[in-house]
Structure 1
Amino acid sequence: MGGLRELAASLVAPGPCGVAVRDRLKHLTPQDEMVLRAIGAHQGTLASRDLKTRCVDGLEHSGDTWAARKRELTGVSSSRIAGAITKATHDQWALARRCQAAYIRTLDAGIKTLRHRLSLPVGEKGTKRAAGGYRSKGEWFRKSRRLATLEARHTAAVGDWQAGRVRVVRGGKRLLNTRHHLTDAGLTEDRWRERWEAERWFIAADGESGKRFGNETIRVTPDGEVSIKLPVPLAHLANTRHGRYTLTARVGFAHRGVEWADRIEANRAVAYRIHLDTGRRRWYLTASWQRPAIQTIPLETARARGMIGVDTNADHFAAYRLDQHGNPIGDPHRFDYDLSGSAGHRDAQIRHALTRLINWVGRVGVGAIGIEDLDFSNEKTREKHGGRKRFRQLISGIPTGKLKARLVSMAAEHGLSVIAVDPAYTSLWGAQHWQKPLTTPHRKMSRHDAAGIAIGRRALGHPIRRRTAPPPHDQSDRAGPRTAQAEPDNRRREGTRPPTTDRPPGGPPPNGKRKRGTSASKTVRDAPSTQQWVQDSLMHTG
């Protein structure tokens, strides 16, 4: 056990701190659409210029440069619009820096693996913890060239990081590259241009508590009327007083509508964003606001009513119910999803699977869900797994970040707690200790189902392995270690039984005399025992 890594402590995941709801802007007139396009194009141009200026500033950015940029934008828009643009610029620049740091970490992991394998003799076998040498001299040469390429990329990335240079594409790098593959994407140049321009528009406004209905730039009244404060160059398009344009569309949020109405009637801050879905030719309004931080409940309280252990896989959730003592109850449950297709389809599949999981948890009356705290940031490199392309695709397909965010948010709405546990050895030990004992002619247990039990037991604070019966032969240690029930700090838990005489094994008898009976009695004493050790049940309370 000395080679196993130390396990991280389980924790109750904090609840969501923000809310976002969306509704469609229906029945817009051509004049409404013309005004929205004009606003988006004008403010999008301002946002692009501001982002360029921020990238040029790099690490020299300060409060004075921020104020100068905001003053420049205020003259061609308004103070509130300028504040929203500069804040969005800072968020985008910070995101690019985080992605840059993650890219450097990935390069570091790949370079470390390549250097290790290149240092080994050709054909040397690896171990479970470290890869071996390459199979041939040709592969060794190709990987040495690969190492030189990664080192060059790493040097360039570190130079950009130290200089504060980031590369950001407003509208998305993927959509920009699609311009060179229009046939494969099924787009014409005009359709691509329309989508590109719509992605670069900026029609958004941050909320402000104390102002009328929580937002002065994009105002939505309780009856659903939407009005927009126009920037100075577009003030001639206003159709109401004070340079505002009121849309003919009405909105009504079906989801969280009561919570949204309570906020705007109390004049609490609500942020809005308007965007065009060019594929569907529909306009949408998204409202978002922050919630106060919710104090997480203690671990013992979350564990009081049992646990649902969930194993996350590339195409399904494997869930098992456990009581508070860690005993499996009932049969395993599987919630499938399909992560092929578009991003919208994948997101809908995850939400649907989580909805079915949470509904089942509510029906059985359990108050917490145990899930692995997965992070495959360093596991996807081809240098680590070599030619195991299918395995790399498998771990890349597991929705780690999006899944955790979705589950925590949806579980909080149903009063459920989410306990994140260390994922180390859950699949291995679950299959070793739980898959075979729970398999019956009427219950089929997979490795993933057993992993769900292991995750649930770890979330409850119990060891993964179950209690085992003594050795089958007799009460001695002839068949191996006596049992798995000894405490971890007992150093004699796997030792041999003490001798039955007052002399050491194999030593001469004291005073030259035997202490026990004759040879016949010895034969009787060493005869195999007829007692059979049978574990009555898997249920236990320790």
Structure 2
Amino acid sequence: MTRKRAKKRELRTLAAPFTVAAPPGARIRERLRLPAADAEALRLVGRHLGHHAWADLAERVRLGDVKAKDNQRAARKKALTAVSSSRWAGAMTRASEDQYQLSKRALYDERAMLRRAIRVINNRLAVPCGQRRNGVRGYPNQAERFQKQRRLQALTARLARVEQRIATGRPGIVVGGRRLAKLRHHLADSGLTEAEWRERWDAERLYLTADGESGALYGNYTITVDPADGAVTIVLPEPLRHLANSPRGRYRLACSVGFSHRREEWMDRATAHQAVRYDIVHDPARDRWYLDASWSTTPTALPTPEDLAATGTRMLAVDLNADHLAACVTDAHGNPVGGPITITTDLTGPTSRRDGRLRAAISSLICLAHEHNCAGIAIENLGFDDARSIGRETMGRGRRGKKFRRTVAGMPTAKFRERLRGMAFHAGLVVIAVDPAYTSRWGGQHWQRPLQSQTRTTVTRHHGAAVAIGRRAFGHGIRRRPGVTTHHQSDGARRATGQTVFVPRTRGTARPPRTTGTSIGGDKTCWSQSGQLALLPDLEDRSRGHRITNPVYSDSANTGQHH
């Protein structure tokens, strides 16, 4: 009886690598060391403006999904001007519109996620337990199938609510955060008292945001920072003008700011009277006030992956994992240069600690890129959208599957990409994003063992994935090209090369290769073919790495074994 040949699994189409755009703006922060009187004045102003700003947001949500000309912004701004000022009213109406559009996009994303999950569960429910049809596996037993039916009902009801909100154009918005609002009913579990929770809730609902205005004094008339002495003044709302301690209804803070980080850029904009936005925020946990300054930057044209490959530059390829970063330097031909690199990232603990350790890891990557003369950093374009929506159906079962899903969900893909984009841009590096499909599988298959033969440290499949990412960033295939890896001249170790340029081969009237035991002219006989040198391209001399005495990294296909 002949066995039926299994159908070959089709590979998904790979997206082309692309250059990650430069950050569209800049944001810096300075601490405000306020006396008690100034802090109380800021609380009064923030509560007053926050009350009217969030009332305006509720009115915008009530209007629903209408055209820009029908959102009644002029009428709402006129009503807010009477209780604040014209500039405060303009900032509040713009913030309401931005928040509404953001919440509407979040509804669309949630609907797409629910539809994907429902579709996957329906496909698996259509297959009997323990069977497999058309590549879809049914649930292993009736108990799990029953639980999935219950989950399907819950997802369907949730999708109906989302569809209703989209149809009416009224997204659910919780000013201060839905998580913090729910925490009010679980104070014992959170370790907070009612007074501490109330302080955090009030701090999140303060509104002290002033949009910048080009042509205004120092780029912002509502909240003005004098670049000469760092004095901060704020326009008080009309009902609070009795608190003014400066002319024209303004309140001047007793402290001053200097913005030590990126001070030159801020000074250039402030002295040229270009728009600068200011936000005053309060951290109740440490009882500190901060002033944030932000502005938009001029769009910058960055080189494409094709431009980088044409210049023959190097690239630092990075594979992001749950607890470490696996990196490797690759040249323009896709060959690894030097040994694999591992950077640990312990992303546990409070948010501030995780963010600091992530920044430290990115700083280490930037230092490595400069040390190896790399023009940029190649990463995977990870999002894990499908993993978060259908991970329960496709990423394992039981305790082990749940642990794996938590590991994937805990990887800071978006935060890592945004932090790396900004820090690399200011360091003069380009970030290339590649398709993450099959990088770990093919990198481990084709590059883990060759890399291990060149170093004494432990090489994992993640290091092989880093090489795969670097090769894909330049448009090369991941598979190592056969016929170019030769034996090392000194100790016979295999060199981890995968040359992607053209390799000349013997053709035409060239002499055929010598085989063992054959005589070729005179009385000489070839007893071994292992000493025969393979033909190599003329654009580089692969033997030069064995003639030098001082180890120097070169763009040859060498992974770091120097003699």
Q: TM-score range by the shorter chain?
A: 0.7 to 0.9
Contact 1:110–1:384 under 8 Å retained in 2: no
Q: Which residue of 2 aligns with 1:264?
A: 270
> Residue type of the partner of 2:473?
A
Q: Which residue of 1 aligns with 2:171?
A: 166
d(CA) in 2 for partners of 1:77, 1:372: 48
Contact 2:22–2:300 under 8 Å retained in 1: yes
SS at match of 2:418: helix
Structure 1 residues 395-474: aligned runs within 5 Å: 395-440=408-453, 442-469=456-483
Structure 1 range deviating more: 265-274 or 52-61: 52-61
Q: Which residue of 2 aligns with 1:499?
A: none
> Residue type of the partner of 1:466?
R
Q: Which residue of 1 aligns with 2:394?
A: 384
Which of 178, 183, 190 is matched with 1:185 structurally? 190
Name stretches of at least 5 consecutive residues in structure 2 with no aligned partner. 1-7, 485-497, 502-526, 535-541, 544-555, 559-563
Name stretches of at least 5 consecutive residues in structure 1 with no aligned partner. 471-483, 488-528
Describe the shift of the 1:313–1:54 C-alpha distance in structure 2 as closer, same or farther (beyond 3 A): same
Which of 92, 95, 109 is matched with 2:99 structurally? 92
TM-fit CA distance, 1:34: 1.5
Contact 1:43–1:202 under 8 Å retained in 2: yes
Q: Which residue of 1 aligns with 2:522?
A: none
> Residue type of the partner of 1:404?
R
d(CA) in 1 for partners of 2:10, 2:434: 20
* 1:283-303 CA distance string (max 9 Å, x none): 100000010111122323333
Q: Which residue of 1 aligns with 2:153?
A: 148
Structure 1 range deviating more: 234-243 or 358-367: 358-367
* 1:2-58 CA distance string (max 9 Å, x none): 7111111111111111000000001x2222111101000000101110111011111
Describe the shift of the 1:534–1:217 C-alpha distance in structure 2 as closer, same or farther (beyond 3 A): farther
SS at match of 2:281: strand
Q: Which residue of 2 aligns with 1:40?
A: 46
d(CA) in 2 for partners of 1:469, 1:266: 62
Which of 114, 118, 123 is matched with 2:130 structurally? 123
Percent identity, please.
45
Structure 1 range deviating more: 215-224 or 339-348: 339-348
Q: Which residue of 1 aligns with 2:79?
A: 72
Contact 1:321–1:330 under 8 Å retained in 2: yes
Describe the shift of the 1:126–1:530 C-alpha distance in structure 2 as closer, same or farther (beyond 3 A): farther
Structure 1 range deviating more: 351-360 or 299-308: 299-308
d(CA) in 2 for partners of 1:149, 1:443: 50
d(CA) in 2 for partners of 1:279, 1:189: 14
d(CA) in 2 for partners of 1:66, 1:378: 38
Contact 1:469–1:534 under 8 Å retained in 2: no
Describe the shift of the 1:261–1:41 C-alpha distance in structure 2 as closer, same or farther (beyond 3 A): same
Normalising by structure 1, we get a TM-score of 0.85
Aligned residues: 487
Q: CA RMSD in A?
A: 2.5
Contact 1:469–1:535 under 8 Å retained in 2: no
Which of 334, 342, 345 is matched with 2:342 structurally? 334
d(CA) in 2 for partners of 1:292, 1:144: 52
> Residue type of the partner of 1:414?
A
Contact 2:336–2:557 under 8 Å retained in 1: no
Describe the shift of the 1:363–1:280 C-alpha distance in structure 2 as closer, same or farther (beyond 3 A): same
Contact 2:334–2:500 under 8 Å retained in 1: no
Structure 1 range deviating more: 341-350 or 84-93: 341-350
> Residue type of the partner of 1:234?
L
d(CA) in 1 for partners of 2:167, 2:253: 47
TM-fit CA distance, 1:486: 12
* 1:105-126 CA distance string (max 9 Å, x none): 1111111111111111111258
Q: Which residue of 2 aligns with 1:305?
A: 313
* 1:340-389 CA distance string (max 9 Å, x none): 22222222221111011111111111111111111111112323335211
Q: Which residue of 2 aligns with 1:494?
A: none
d(CA) in 2 for partners of 1:8, 1:298: 15
